[in-house]
Amino acid sequence: MKLLIVGASRGIGKALLEEALKEDHQLRVLARHPEKIEAADGRLEIVEGDVRDPEGLRAAALDMDVICSCVGVPITFKPVDLFSTAATNLVFVAEQQPGVKLIVVTGIGAGDSKGHGGFLYDRIFKPLFLKTIYQDKDREEALIRASKTDWLIVRPAGLTNGPRTGNYRVVTDLEGTVATRISRLDVADYILSQMVNPTQFGETPLITY
């Protein structure tokens, strides 16, 4: 399949890029700093650009089957608008390209997954260090859910650098669920599986061990 990854220089986006190449997908990456993309492959096209620029994003998304946003920001106490701005532009682009699928990675604590990350995460880490980030991720999710796109919102648990196991829980009924950990490679595994066999579009699954 033809996949556009936004945010592939590190984290889940980098893991997705590496694993997608192993599965012989045709890849395009939109990157503000192309020099940070370490992969080199004939199936990979790197486009310099910014998800905040709707016209640049639209050009990068042309002819793609799937757009996956893995954008992130460092811990900050300042107001954040990257996620909602990205969501606005991703919806704009996806709605103009019939048939394209939109996958957006948010995280545990976004939307109605709030309160399912365990005591330390829910009561200490998230409110103290991630408050403004998750305020914007909530706006991001609301924009995606309200759109007419064929969307999937992926909410990973706490991220690790562990291996790709393919053995994890995909939770859509959050009652009684406490998320633990998930490797970035297993998040990539889930995204790739949904690209090939799209069974949960229109949903907001939590991915955890």
Closest to 7 measured CA to CA, from 111, 82, 75, 108 = 82
Distance of alpha carbon 148 from alpha carbon 140, whole angstroms: 14
Please give the pLDDT value at position 166: 97
Torsion on CA atoms 165, 209, 37, 87, rounded to nearest 10: 140
Q: Do the beta carbons of residue 42 and residue 19 sit within 8 Å? A: no
Q: Is the pTM of this model over 0.85?
A: yes
Alpha helices in the chain (DSSP H): 11-22, 54-61, 82-95, 119, 126-129, 131-145, 184-196
- Distance between CA 98 and CA 170 in Å, rounded? 28
pLDDT tens column, 107-125: 999 999 999 999 999 999 9
**pLDDT, position 96:** 93
CATH topology of domain 2-208: Rossmann fold (3.40.50)
The rounded distance, in Å, linking the Cα atoms of 121 and 36 is 30
Q: What per-residue confidence (pLDDT) applies to 181?
A: 97
Q: Rg for the chain (alpha carbons), in Å?
A: 16
What pLDDT does residue 189 have?
A: 98
Residue 77 has φ and ψ, to the nearest 5°, of -105, 0
Position 71 scores a pLDDT of: 97
On whether the CB atoms of residues 80 and 110 are closer than 8 A, the answer is no
Flag residues of the chain having pLDDT under 50. Answer: none
